[in-house]
Amino acid sequence: MSAERLPWIAEDPASQRLLELAQKVATAATTLLISGESGTGKDHLARLVHELGPRRDAPFLKIDCASLPPNLVESELFGHELGAFTGAVERKLGRLELGGSGTIVLDEVAALTPGAQGKLLRVLQERTFERLGGTEALRIEARVVALTNVDLNAAVASGHFREDLYFRLNVLALTVPPLRERRADILPLADHLLAALRAIHGHPGSHLSEPARRMLATYAWPGNVRELRNALERAIVFSRGDTLDPTDFPDNIRAAASGAAGSIAGLRSLEEVEREVIAATLEATHYKISRAAEALGISRKTLLEKRKKYGLK
Ligand SMILES: Nc1ncnc2c1ncn2[C@@H]1O[C@H](COP(=O)(O)OP(=O)(O)O)[C@@H](O)[C@H]1O
Ligand SMILES: [Mg+2]
């Protein structure tokens, strides 16, 4: 699969920097740690790193450490021999073996049990492992990419995650910023996701009205790109006709955008206030950048960056 078929929407400077880093780490064989809030695109980025690197034609396998029972995580990872435990009625190959020289993604790595953490550390250090119940030493060729939405540093401090494993995983690390910290991505992402959803739902004409675009651009998106995708999907289903209006979106998104553009009970983030002040100043100065910058007490360059970040005209 080529990178063209896996679009990474990166309009915001923050995402462009991330894309550059992804290109750099793609060619390395070192273990990679990707952190970020839920829904920011960690899986998506892991896939991109795989596609951009020399492993693109080898397998890309994922293990969800949080949703599998602990004993299954180990057997999925390492495989097992016949009779390794009750129910092991035949030899089974684990992902480390099946992954060949590809990429193995450990989703929610913080959910690994202490036992599995110890085994994983050994694999990463010695590049060898055994199937559960087995003695044959097998070599791992695949690259391990660990994903986490919890702060591993804090998990180490509270004794839930092995420090040595954390250091081993953290050699190369990427952080996907929350969507609210890369606002210039919101509308391009919305357009991109909408195009994909249009095809799925057979609504070829669906497009966002101007008020809907403004609403999406101001909302805080605590659920990040996943929330945006779900909101658009819902809007396509609820819309009558081809135009997606604010009324087609969930109440919480509408409420946040109408007037008190903020989150809970009138509380507003500094970013929301900043966006509003900049928008008002630009309007008041008839969009003369130098004058607006002077009034705001910031440089022209900073103003231009912020204008782009907040998707202002
Ligand atoms: N930069 C991006 N460009 C296009 N689609 C994206 C991007 N980031 C995330 N997505 C989409 O958003 C959704 C959530 O991303 P995902 O990688 O599953 O998040 P996470 O693993 O951090 O919870 C997926 O449908 C994914 O394809
Ligand atoms: Mg995920």
Q: Are 239 and 248 contacting, i.e. CB atoms less than 8 angstroms apart?
A: yes
The pLDDT of residue 267 is 55
Q: Is the CB–ligand 1 distance for residue 9 below 6 Å?
A: yes
Which of these three, 159, 177, 195, is where a domain ends?
Answer: 177
Say whether both 200 and 290 belong to one domain. Answer: yes
Please enumerate in sequence order all residues whose Cβ is within 8 A of that of 217, keeping only pairs 6 or more positions apart, or say none. Answer: 183, 186, 187, 310, 311
The pLDDT of residue 268 is 63
Q: Is the CB–ligand 1 distance for residue 182 below 6 Å?
A: no
Say whether both 190 and 117 belong to one domain. Answer: no
Task: Give the CATH number for residue 277.
Answer: 1.10.8.60
What is the number of the ligand closest to the CA of 42? 1
Q: Are 166 and 153 contacting, i.e. CB atoms less than 8 angstroms apart?
A: yes
Say whether both 161 and 204 belong to one domain. Answer: no
Say whether both 190 and 46 belong to one domain. Answer: no
Closest CA to 310 of 281, 280, 282, 278: 278
Statement: residue 7 has pLDDT above 70? yes
Task: Give the CATH number for residue 17.
Answer: 3.40.50.300
Statement: residue 280 has pLDDT above 90? no
Say whether both 101 and 81 belong to one domain. Answer: yes
What is the number of the ligand closest to the CA of 193? 1
Say whether both 157 and 24 belong to one domain. Answer: yes
Cα 47 to Cα 158: distance, rounded to the nearest angstrom: 31
Supply the DSSP string of 143-158, one letter for each residue.
EEEEEESS-HHHHHHT
Cα 54 to Cα 93: distance, rounded to the nearest angstrom: 24
Closest CA to 221 of 189, 192, 244: 189
Testing ligand 1's pocket by substitution, the residue of 6, 8, 42, 44 carrying the most ligand atoms inside 8 A of its CB is 44
The pLDDT of residue 302 is 93
Q: Is the CB–ligand 1 distance for residue 221 below 6 Å?
A: no
Number of compact structural domains in the chain: 2
Which of these three, 177, 202, 229, is where a domain ends?
Answer: 177
Per-residue pLDDT reduced to its tens digit, 87-138:
888 999 999 999 999 999 999 999 999 999 999 999 999 999 999 999 999 9
Q: Is the CB–ligand 1 distance for residue 39 below 6 Å?
A: yes
Which structural domain range is residue 67 located in?
Answer: 3-177
